[in-house]
Structure 1
Amino acid sequence: MGRHTVREGRFWHCRAELHYDDAGAGPLAVYAHGGFVSQAVEDRMGLFDWVPVLDAGHRLVRCDTRGHGRSTGEPVDTDYTYPSLADDLLALLDHLGAAEPVDAMGASMGCGSVLHAAVRAPDRFSRLVLLIPPTAWTTREAHARANRESADTIEREGADAWLAANGTQPRPAVVAEVPEFPPTPAEQVLPSILRGLAQSDLPSRTAITSLRMPGLILAWVDDPGHPLSTAETLAWLLPRADLHVSRTRTDIGTWGERIAEYLGRTLP
């Protein structure tokens, strides 16, 4: 990750060995990735640039979600709900010995993990950075239904049939040129991950309103899986929230610098 040495770590939690990358030094920030990828795949996609965060003097820990990348996972649907993944995130903080509140960042599925962890243990977090918030509340059911159907397809016809069907779907123009990679979870856990996500939603609006830490929300346009309505609602619900919407791939490339600047602000 640029000139910064990446240290690998791992710990056990609830039947899974969870692997993480640890780089930089300074105030701790943790990051949870989106569904079906991993830290290594995100790096190869070139979508998010974390070097500015490290250059600004932060320690960044990025964990492969259970069942993804190097982390193990069982074919248990409830292991992959947002609240269960929030448990893993809080266990990571325990493993790291995080005694002070940390900055937490999450993209898509990771956004759900971070928000549930923050609602459950608000004193453990100082700021939230939410990238491409997923479908939520009124827009969630159609996405959940598609996930359940995908799980059935994989069990009936195999993962290749699911991937072939997904390949016919148009991609948002803003990320149309980003390389695609096959899912990192093994085929035997993919249906459980999909069903776990189908059972998930962001915390209620009331629960989010109760949070007191500030937030930065980064979104892009024309993506039904990450509708702008979710990002706008979160910006309204969270105190002192900043919302930035990207309409080009070039502008998404500024997110690392925006996050670094945000994390460098003095908290009130």
Structure 2
Amino acid sequence: MSARSEPAHIEHVALDGERLHTAFVSGRGVPLLLCNDFVANLDILDEFATALGRPVLRFDLPGVGTSAEVVRMRRMPALAALLAKLLDHYGLTEPVDVMGIGWGGLLAQQFAQSQGDRVRRLVLAATASGQLMFPGRLASLVRLARPGALGRVAPDGEQARIVFGGRRNDECRQIATAFRRATAPTRRGYAAQIYALTGFSSLTWLHRLNIPTLVLAGDDDSIVPTVNARVLALLLPQARLEIIRGGGHWFVLERTEDVVRMLDEFLEAKVAISAADQNSTF
């Protein structure tokens, strides 16, 4: 699909006592529900969402971006239920495609597990299975451990490469450019995402998640090492693994064209992934 020019419909949606900042571009085709990374507001994905050239629904969780402050702390299953209500709000009753980036990949897995009849295909980017994962570089994790806007963590391409990985400063400048639109979460919003993550692991049920899945990973990711993607692809019954050579944690911003091409091939494929496809990735 080619990039589109239609503007996103921006609104604040009241759901189950919370008020979420959302951006939805309607159109032809199966909508993509996009779950963002840890405390990352939807605005940093503006160019990526536009490049997708398909209907896309983005959202900020409570306490993130311009969403209202967190009213109730929720575990991953409760957040997945909240997303189901968000789809209802937009009249998306047919199965959608779901993509999760980093922390959002955990939420995407949970949504596929507890709301499986609403998911057509699943994309997991730069993510893992939860707390039982192979950890990233300690220095990078420490930089991300303080509540604050992501723009402070990566103000330029060099700092983005140091913190998130990636082989080229010019590509990592795309991360810094996007992060200039980042806003700091509230302290309660930051705590809410930590709370949702605490105790979460998909390892015990991934083998029952029988949904065609594309697993994407950068081989220079400082936050979520590539081995985590291999674990996901090994356990998921219908998974295909794609490695972005030289890509860091935010390869969706570094290598947008490559990622969009992979998504188009996967989401528009007429034939579902077979076991042979999955095994051939190793």
- Give the TM-score normalised by the residue count of structure 2: 0.73
1:5 equivalent among 4, 7, 11:
7
Separation of aligned partners in 2, 1:200 and 1:15? 24
* Residue pair 1:32, 1:65 contacting (<8 A) in 2 also: no
Distance 1:206-1:121 versus aligned 2 partners, 3 A rule = same
State the match for 2:88 in structure 1.
Answer: 94
Cα deviation per residue 1:211-232 (whole Å; 9 max; x = unaligned)? Answer: 1110011111233421212211
How much has 1:171 moved relative to structure 2?
Answer: 3.5
Q: Structure 1 stretch 132-141 or stretch 1-10: which is displaced more?
A: 132-141
Separation of aligned partners in 1, 2:100 and 2:184? 19
Pair 1:172-2:159 in alignment = no
State the match for 1:189 in structure 2.
Answer: 188
Pair 1:126-2:120 in alignment = yes
Distance 1:186-1:170 versus aligned 2 partners, 3 A rule = closer
Aligned AA (1:93): L
Cα deviation per residue 1:56-86 (whole Å; 9 max; x = unaligned)? Answer: xx3211112222112123275x33x433332
* Residue pair 1:16, 1:74 contacting (<8 A) in 2 also: yes
How much has 1:150 moved relative to structure 2?
Answer: 4.2
Cα deviation per residue 1:212-258 (whole Å; 9 max; x = unaligned)? Answer: 11001111123342121221111112223111111235645310121
Aligned AA (2:134): T
Map 1:80-91 to 2 at 5 A: 81-91=75-85
1:264 equivalent among 238, 262, 268:
268
Q: Structure 1 stretch 178-187 or stretch 121-130: which is displaced more?
A: 178-187
Distance 1:14-1:215 versus aligned 2 partners, 3 A rule = same
State the match for 2:21 in structure 1.
Answer: 19
Map 1:106-185 to 2 at 5 A: 106-134=100-128, 136=130, 137-139=132-134, 150=145, 170-174=163-167, 176-177=172-173, 178-179=175-176, 180-181=179-180, 184-185=183-184
Separation of aligned partners in 1, 2:17 and 2:66? 14
* SS of residue in 1 equivalent to 2:204: helix
How much has 1:13 moved relative to structure 2?
Answer: 2.2
Aligned AA (1:33): N
**Is there any run of 5+ residues in structure 2 with no aligned partner, and where?**
248-253, 273-282
1:34 equivalent among 37, 52, 58:
37
Answer 1 or 2: higher relative contact order, Cα 8 Å, separation at least 6: 1
Aligned AA (2:121): R
* Residue pair 1:235, 1:241 contacting (<8 A) in 2 also: yes
Aligned AA (1:173): G
* Residue pair 2:163, 2:222 contacting (<8 A) in 1 also: no
* SS of residue in 2 equivalent to 1:113: helix
- Give the TM-score normalised by the residue count of structure 1: 0.77
* Residue pair 1:106, 1:130 contacting (<8 A) in 2 also: yes
* Residue pair 2:126, 2:224 contacting (<8 A) in 1 also: yes
* SS of residue in 2 equivalent to 1:40: helix
* RMSD (Å) for aligned C-alpha atoms: 3.3
* Residue pair 1:5, 1:24 contacting (<8 A) in 2 also: no
How much has 1:115 moved relative to structure 2?
Answer: 0.6
* Residue pair 1:15, 1:73 contacting (<8 A) in 2 also: no
